Structures are given as structure tokens and as C-alpha cells.
């Protein structure tokens, strides 16, 4: 009897230690994601909106960066939630808004990447039509439609997310799991379309060697691949935890819980990956970005120097007068 009690105590201690390690690791990783996501996507938004020529591709990049930027802004709430051992101190409205932002980013991103893939496919297969009809105005309209659809898809989360008070120590912020199936279906359909589009592009390029992908093609492909890598494990563990929780033993459930925690971090990391891809893969983007930053600093320093010179000229006559 005492042996079984010692075994249970050891297992509980191991579980507690593992839980604490996961929490600390999650806070560290999420803090890094938050910092990179806000600064990186903020820089991309500034550069694309004010320093880059308005093109269809720039509209795509701007919308994706905006989704990741807004998502990163809410990460401090999640970090605080974990730091307080899953005690939610921000009230019902912020609980709803925080969960809503997570799923809004996911659905908006997957819809945007699907539209971008269709755009690339049409550009390769129907280049003449694109030359006449593929405009910035049309791209903006498509992006607005995507955001409206994403908002409508995720209103359910805002309505059905609540805080649950369990004594004085725990106040959980939880959403209804019914809508997770919708996101999984959306994910599967979207990536089926994406794979189809890039298969058509690949076959078209192989058949007609004159058709070549332009430089943004590599960046867009990298963005889509990274999104799939980041979000696919999250959906796998979401399905496993939703449909197998009643049949698995505690050990398997523990593995699934750890997998969900790690896959969530991987999914969240997608919000800071794209700016790095733009810099390391998009050579033109990197050169234009650094030249814009350099010119901005140079202009700032020149203005400060001129202002200092003007103040000096104003100060010298006053000094001469005071000495008279």
C-alpha cells in the first residue's frame, strides 16, 4: 500500500515538475515571439505601406503582416495568463477578445495564403488576362472580403468564450471547442487548393521553359510552407485531444497535452516568421528595406544637425548682445 502511494507521489511530482518546465519554456518562447512579431511585422507594415511601390504582391504582404502584428499585440495577455498559473485577471471581455484574435489570425492567414496561391496560379496560366485585370484595386477588394469572412467565421468564438471561476486560485479563460472542427476543415480545404495551385504552376513551368516565376514567387512559397509547418501539428493534436480524450489512458493523455503545448508554441511562432523570410529570401526586399532604414536615419540626423545649426546661429547674436 505504501509502495503504491510513493509511486503516485513520485508521478505527481514528476508531472508538476514537467508542468512547471513547460510553463517557463512557454513564457520564454512566447516573449521572444511577441518581441519579434511586433517589431518585425511593424517594420514590414511601415516599409510596405510607406516605402514600397503599391503592387498586388505588396497588398498581400501588407495584409499578412497586419494579421501577424495584431496577433502579436495580444500575446502579453497569454504570457501573463501562464505566469499566473492560468489565472485570468483581465475580465470577460478581454478573455473573449484574446481568444478571438488567435482564431481570427489563423483563419485570415489561411484564407489569404489560399488567395495568394490562386493569384500565382492565374498569373502563370493566364498571363495576358492578369496583365489587363490584375490590379491593386482588385487585390484590396479581395483582402477586404477575406477579413469580413474571417470576422464572420470567428464571431462564434467571441460569443462563446467565457471565464470560469474555480475557487480563489483559478479563473480560466476557455472557448467552446465546437468551432475547432470548422477551422480544421478550413485548413484542409485551403491546403488542398494550395497544393493544387502549385502543382499546376510546377507543371506549367516544366512544360513551357519561357514561363518563369518572378522573385516574389520564392517568398510566397516560403510563407505558405512555413504556415503549413507551423499550424499542421497544432491541428493534428487538436483532433486527437477532441476525439480521443475519453478512450486514452492517462499516460497517452499526458503525451497529447505536452504535444498540444509544444504545437501551440509552434503555431504562435508563425506570427514572427514571415518578416525573417522576407529578409533572408527576398533579396530585393532586404536591399530596399535596409536602404529605406538607412535613408530614414540619414534624414533624421540631417534634420537634427540643421536644427542644431539654426539654434547656434540664433544663440550667437543673443550672446553678443548680452556681452555688450
> 147-192, pLDDT tens digit by residue?
999 999 888 878 888 888 876 667 888 876 556 677 788 888 988 9
- Other Cβ atoms less than 10 A from the Cβ of 280: the count is 12
Burial environment of residue 6 by CB neighbours within 10 A (0 to 12, 13 to 18, 19 or more)? exposed
Confidence label for 285 from pLDDT (cuts 50, 70 and 90): low
The pLDDT value recorded for residue 301 is: 46
Does 305 fall in a domain?
A: no
**Residue 148's domain spans which residues?**
2-292
- Please give the tally of structural domains in the chain: 1
Tens-place pLDDT, residues 206-242: 777 654 445 556 777 788 888 888 888 988 887 777 7
Q: pLDDT tens-digit profile of 298-310?
A: 554 454 445 445 5
* Within a domain: 310: no
Mean pLDDT of the chain: 78
| pLDDT at site 57 | 85
Residue, of 290 and 25, whose pLDDT is higher: 25
Query: Does a structural domain hold residue 260?
Result: yes
Inform me whether the pLDDT recorded for 251 exceeds 80: no
Residue 301, domain member (yes or no): no
Q: Is residue 64 in a domain?
A: yes
Helix (H, G, I), strand (E, B) or coil at 104: helix
* DSSP 8-state secondary structure symbol assigned to residue 179: G
- Mean of the pLDDT values across residues 93-114? 89
317 within a domain of the structure (yes/no): no
The answer as to whether 307 is a domain residue is: no
3-state secondary structure of 166: strand
pLDDT over 90, % of the chain: 21
Inside any domain, residue 323: no
Return the CATH number at 246.
1.20.1070.10
The pTM of this model reads: 0.78
Three-state DSSP class for residue 88: coil
* pLDDT over 90 (residue 203): no
Band (pLDDT 50/70/90 cuts) for residue 198 is confident
Model confidence at 324, pLDDT cuts 50, 70, 90, reads: very low
- Report CA 178 to chain centroid distance, whole Å: 23
260, 94 Cβ separation under 8 angstroms: no
For the cut 80, the answer to whether the pLDDT of residue 284 exceeds it is: no
Amino acid at each position: 500500500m505504501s509502495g503504491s502511494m510513493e509511486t503516485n507521489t513520485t508521478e505527481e511530482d514528476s508531472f508538476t515538475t514537467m508542468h512547471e518546465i513547460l510553463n517557463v519554456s512557454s513564457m520564454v518562447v512566447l516573449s521572444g515571439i511577441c518581441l519579434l512579431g511586433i517589431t518585425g511585422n511593424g517594420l514590414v507594415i511601415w516599409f510596405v505601406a510607406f516605402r514600397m511601390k503599391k503592387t498586388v504582391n505588396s497588398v498581400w504582404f501588407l495584409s499578412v503582416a497586419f494579421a501577424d502584428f495584431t496577433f502579436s499585440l495580444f500575446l502579453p495577455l497569454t504570457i501573463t495568463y501562464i505566469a499566473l498559473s492560468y489565472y485570468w485577471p483581465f475580465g470577460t471581455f478581454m478573455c473573449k477578445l484574446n481568444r478571438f484574435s488567435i482564431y481570427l489570425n489563423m483563419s485570415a492567414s489561411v484564407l489569404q495564403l489560399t488567395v495568394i496561391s490562386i493569384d500565382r496560379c492565374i498569373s502563370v496560366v493566364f498571363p495576358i488576362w492578369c496583365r489587363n485585370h490584375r490590379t491593386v484595386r482588385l487585390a484590396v477588394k479581395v483582402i477586404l472580403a477575406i477579413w469580413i469572412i474571417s470576422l464572420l467565421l470567428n464571431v462564434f468564438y467571441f460569443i462563446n468564450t467565457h471565464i470560469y471561476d474555480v475557487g480563489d486560485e483559478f479563473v480560466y479563460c476557455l472557448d467552446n471547442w465546437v468551432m475547432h472542427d470548422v477551422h480544421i476543415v478550413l485548413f484542409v480545404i485551403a491546403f488542398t487548393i494550395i497544393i493544387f495551385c502549385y502543382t499546376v504552376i510546377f507543371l506549367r513551368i516544366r512544360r513551357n521553359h519561357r514561363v518563369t516565376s518572378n522573385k516574389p514567387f520564392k517568398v510566397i512559397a516560403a510563407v505558405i510552407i512555413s504556415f503549413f509547418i507551423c499550424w499542421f501539428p497544432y491541428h493534428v493534436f487538436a483532433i486527437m485531444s477532441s476525439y480521443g480524450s475519453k478512450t486514452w489512458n492517462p499516460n497517452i493523455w499526458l503525451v497529447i497535452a505536452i504535444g498540444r503545448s509544444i504545437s501551440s508554441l509552434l503555431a504562435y511562432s508563425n506570427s514572427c516568421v514571415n518578416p525573417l523570410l522576407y529578409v533572408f529570401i527576398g533579396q530585393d526586399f532586404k536591399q530596399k528595406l535596409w536602404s529605406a532604414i538607412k535613408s530614414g536615419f540619414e534624414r533624421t540626423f540631417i534634420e537634427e544637425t540643421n536644427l542644431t545649426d539654426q539654434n547656434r546661429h540664433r544663440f550667437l547674436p543673443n550672446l553678443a548682445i548680452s556681452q555688450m
